[in-house]
Amino acid sequence: MRRNAVDEEDAMTQMALVIDLNVCVGCHACVTSCKEWNTSGDAGALSDLRPYDADPSGTFFNRVQTFEAGEFPLADTIHFPKSCLHCEDPPCVPVCPTGASYKREEDGLVLVDYDKCIGCKYCTWACPYGARELDEVRKEMTKCTLCADRIHDETLPERDRKPACVLACPTSARLFGDIHDPNSTVSQAIRERGGYQLMPEWGTRPANHYLPRRTTTACGSGGGGGNDGSGGGGCGSGAACACRPADAKPAPVSAGDALAHGQPNLAALAKRIRSE
């Protein structure tokens, strides 16, 4: 994104995504819509070096990774969308030798000034989430901008002033808004449904949050838990369930046992994404 002058007054706004892992089906609509919009938007053309190979490559701002946990009959397939988390304390910004990486005060977005970027990859090494990619054609670092060129575009209907991935998601798994506004949809979702940050131990204070999946059960009940991921019923808890005797003991709840019983802790499992 070409850097424009911004209001220096700190509006204390932090725009972000909240992704509901319970309803993400791994369709990649967010990936393709992101690619389409950002190829024609301010980001410029994104390289797509081998789009039709068995292992296609190119530049993507958003990717969906899929992995499996547990064993039959309590196995689970997990779709995990991953992009820049627009951290409130982004480590990619201070390491940039030219000032190309910056955090925009008016909306909290972490962006790249392509006019200053020299493609040194320092920001890539500093990011613990692997959110940045070097465009091999332009030799510039690229990343998710949360469609910064459209979310404030007053020529668009208000309903369309959202990131392309949010508009394209067929299951409404992606929410967008200001997490510093306690009355926003995203803040309510985080508060009421157990939203969590990815790898908070890094101290980067990611703005994007994830809503946890419900537990998977052999009878297909989904654990009977609410969207807060508590698993308040079904065979994922102590309640009676069609797939287990009423007097059976509750499933183990430790991290290792939960994984073995198909009740993965996504906050922990997501750490695998960085190494894959």
- What does the alpha-carbon distance between residue 221 and residue 76 come to, in Å, rounded to a whole number? 13
**Judgement on whether residues 266 and 177 belong to the same structural domain of the protein:** no
CA 40 vs CA 33, 45, 135, 154: distances in Å = 11, 6, 15, 18
pLDDT for position 57:
65
Which element (helix H / strand E) includes 175?
Answer: strand 174-178
Spell out the residues 6+ positions from residue 134 whose beta carbon is closer than 8 angstroms to its own. 59, 119, 121, 124, 140, 141, 142
Whole-angstrom Cα distance, residue 119 to residue 135? 9
Q: Select from 211, 231, 252 the last residue of a domain.
A: 211
Residue scoring higher pLDDT (11 or 106): 106
pTM of the predicted model as reported, rounded to 2 decimal places? 0.73
What does the alpha-carbon distance between residue 272 and residue 275 come to, in Å, rounded to a whole number? Answer: 6
- Dihedral angle sign, alpha carbons of residues 227, 233, 238, 244: negative
What's the rounded Cα separation, in Å, for the pair 254 and 272? Answer: 18
Number of structural domains the chain divides into: 2
- Whether residues 62 and 179 share a domain: the answer is yes
- 165 and 55 co-located in one domain: yes
Is the CB of residue 47 less than 8 Å from the CB of residue 58? yes
Phi-psi region of 47 (alpha: psi -120 to 50; beta: other; left: phi over 0): beta
pLDDT exceeds cutoff 70 at 253: no
Among the residue ranges 69-78, 126-135, 188-197, 249-258, the one predicted with the least confidence is 249-258
188 and 254 in a common domain: no
Q: What is the pLDDT of residue 59?
A: 78
Of 182, 164, 159, residue with least CA distance to 174: 164
Torsion sign, CA atoms 182, 187, 189, 190: negative
**Residue 235 contacts residue 243 (beta carbons within 8 Å):** yes
pLDDT of residue 146: 95
Q: Would 4 be classed as within a structural domain? A: no
Instruction: For residue 3, tell me if it sits in a domain.
Output: no
Helix (H, G, I), strand (E, B) or coil at 53: coil
pLDDT tens per residue across span 75-99 = 888 899 999 999 999 999 999 999 9
Q: Which residue has the tokens 């200001």?
A: 178
Strand-pair partners of 244: 241
Q: Same domain for 220 and 205?
A: no
On whether both 168 and 59 belong to a single domain, the answer is yes
User: Cα separation of 85 and 101, whole Å?
Assistant: 14
Alpha carbon distance 64, 35 (integer Å): 13
Shared domain for 168 and 270, answered yes or no, is: no
Cβ atoms < 10 Å from Cβ of 245: 8
What is the span of the domain harbouring residue 105?
15-211
Taking only the tens place, the pLDDT of each residue in 15-74 is 999 999 999 999 999 998 988 888 766 655 666 666 555 666 677 888 899 988 888 888
| pLDDT exceeds 50 at position 232 | no
Angle at 74 (CA atoms; ends 73, 76), nearest 5 degrees: 115
Residue 159's CATH number: 3.30.70.20
Residues 36 and 92 in one domain: yes
